[in-house]
Structure 1
Amino acid sequence: MSGPECCNNPPVPDHDPAAPSESGNVLQMASLTCYISGDPDSKIAVILVSDVYGYGAPKLRKLADKVAHAGYYVVVPDLFHGDPFIRKNQLQDWIKYHAPKQAVEFAKPVIKALRGKGISKIGAAGFCWGAKVVVELAKDAYIQAASLLHPTFVNLDDIKGVKVPVAVLGAEYDKISPPELIKQFEATLQAKPEVDHFVKVYLGVAHGWTIRYKDEDMAAVKCAEEAHEDLVDWFDRCLQTTRSAL
């Protein structure tokens, strides 16, 4: 399921998406353009899979830098091949050409490339649209830890199929993945003791808040920062055996 909430508070570009930042660089990996941040010698990586607005969104890159600062090699791939959603278009028409399951096949070579450069463990976080990509990777254990933030298109069968530790971060005011659905996800995971999980509903915020919050809304900013910390803590918890060797 997708809807208008998936497009609220669109990012305002403040740079050329292909240009490097103070913290990261735009490079090619497995034929995809990627924003990459962090120590290239790190043995653990985190892939951030964007919402419909793509890998160039400033707040997503800011979060990538934050995760990188925690010790991870962070990759934000352009799974839309230079064609992110634009508000003047119809979302459902755009989705026809950018189905999450198709993007899973674009993400797999990135994972293979990371393995080829010596990465021993990989976590992935998906935002809205990107959560479906990540949950599909988690069902086949292509990654070692997953996080789904205000997920879109993710259903109970997806959660039942997850084979790696998974975190689900939801919003109180979310018509796409309402708290009731998030609680169903939690109950499903509680019935899978072999899969570690973390589930949390953040109060006072709406779908997309972790990377599309309004800077002037201090409560939303604070809640987004809380979610960011929880995201890093989750990857620390799941991948810490590798981090301790760094």
Structure 2
Amino acid sequence: MSGAQCCENPPTLNSGSGNGKVEEFGGLSSYISGPANSNAALILISDVFGYEAPHLRKIADEVGAAGFRVVVPDFFRGEPFVADQKPFTEWMKDHGPDQGFEDAKPVIEALKSKGITKIGAAGFCWGAKVVVELSKRPYIQAAVLIHPSFVEVDDFQGVKVPLSLLAAELDNMCPPELVKQFEAALNANPDVDSFVKIFAGCSHGWSVRYSDEDEGAVKSAEEAEKDMLDWFVKYLK
């Protein structure tokens, strides 16, 4: 898998964007938003461009305003993918989702230590692989995957928490025919609730990498955010 669409349309990173604050959390620099006294938290796991992406922080602020404590960790430790610095395959060797899964565990423990009793996780592109791994074990109580990459059909066999999958129609990383296989795998386990939706006319990365001047793109991104938030409200509130 080349990761071509993963690397397209990179956002302009801005460490000062958003209304939240950046602090160390669970051993990682993290963007934190939402009420500190909430008992429900969300971990947003970025695509390959990392936690400084302005649209990702905008999502964090908005779901934080809905009452969730939101943490967006820097799983890349200051080294998000930059196309002219290193080939994607080389970058992935040092920043695999398997490492993201391990790094997520201390973040989850840090949330629990602060009185959080319900935790959800949403993964965008690269982050979706991390979230589907978390969903197989008792780390989180609800999961959302958005334009996932590096996820395979077998990954859904062991999912143990309610999982929502939001995919793009025009996506060579996760094409509709593969999404249908994911849906069948999820439906094979009737004990775990799932929701699958394909966004017509949207491309990989549409939820966090769009132009604010493109009204249609903004509307599609907002729809994905609402679907994500509704899922977490249903299972964590």
How far does residue 20 in structure 1 lie from its aligned partner after superposition? 6.9
Question: Which residue number corresponds to residue 7 of structure 1?
Answer: 7
Do the aligned residues in 1 keep the contact of 2:17 with 2:54 (CA within 8 Å)? no
Match of residue 61, structure 2, among 56, 60, 65 = 65
Map 1:110-149 onto structure 2 (within 5 A). Answer: 110-149=107-146
How far does residue 30 in structure 1 lie from its aligned partner after superposition? 1.6
Question: Which residue number corresponds to residue 160 of structure 1?
Answer: 157
How far does residue 217 in structure 1 lie from its aligned partner after superposition? 2.2
Q: TM-score, normalised by structure 2?
A: 0.97
Q: Are 2:182 and 1:188 aligned? A: no
Q: Are 2:201 and 1:227 aligned? A: no
Measure, in 2, the Cα distance between the counterparts of 1:3 and 1:43: 37
Unmatched runs of 5 consecutive residues or more in structure 1: 241-246
Match of residue 77, structure 2, among 77, 81, 86 = 81
Q: For residue 151 of structure 1, what is the amino acid of its counterpart?
A: P
Do the aligned residues in 1 keep the contact of 2:50 with 2:76 (CA within 8 Å)? yes
Do the aligned residues in 1 keep the contact of 2:10 with 2:49 (CA within 8 Å)? yes
Question: Which residue number corresponds to residue 47 of structure 2?
Answer: 51
Unmatched runs of 5 consecutive residues or more in structure 2: none
Aligned length: 236
CA deviations 1:80-121 (Å, max 9, x no partner) are 111110021211110000010111111100000000000000
SS at match of 1:86: coil
Q: TM-score, normalised by structure 1?
A: 0.93
Cα separation, partners in 2 of 1:20 and 1:57, compared to 1, 3 Å: closer
Question: Which residue number corresponds to residue 244 of structure 1?
Answer: none
Match of residue 35, structure 1, among 31, 53, 74 = 31
Measure, in 2, the Cα distance between the counterparts of 1:145 and 1:60: 19
Measure, in 2, the Cα distance between the counterparts of 1:151 and 1:78: 18
Measure, in 1, the Cα distance between the counterparts of 2:17 and 2:58: 12
Measure, in 2, the Cα distance between the counterparts of 1:216 and 1:8: 18
How far does residue 214 in structure 1 lie from its aligned partner after superposition? 2.0
Runs of 4+ aligned residues of structure 1 deviating over 3 Å after TM superposition are none
CA RMSD of aligned residues (A): 1.1
Measure, in 2, the Cα distance between the counterparts of 1:238 and 1:156: 24
Map 1:70-109 onto structure 2 (within 5 A). Answer: 70-88=66-84, 89-109=86-106
How far does residue 42 in structure 1 lie from its aligned partner after superposition? 0.3
SS at match of 2:208: helix
Q: For residue 147 of structure 1, what is the amino acid of its counterpart?
A: V
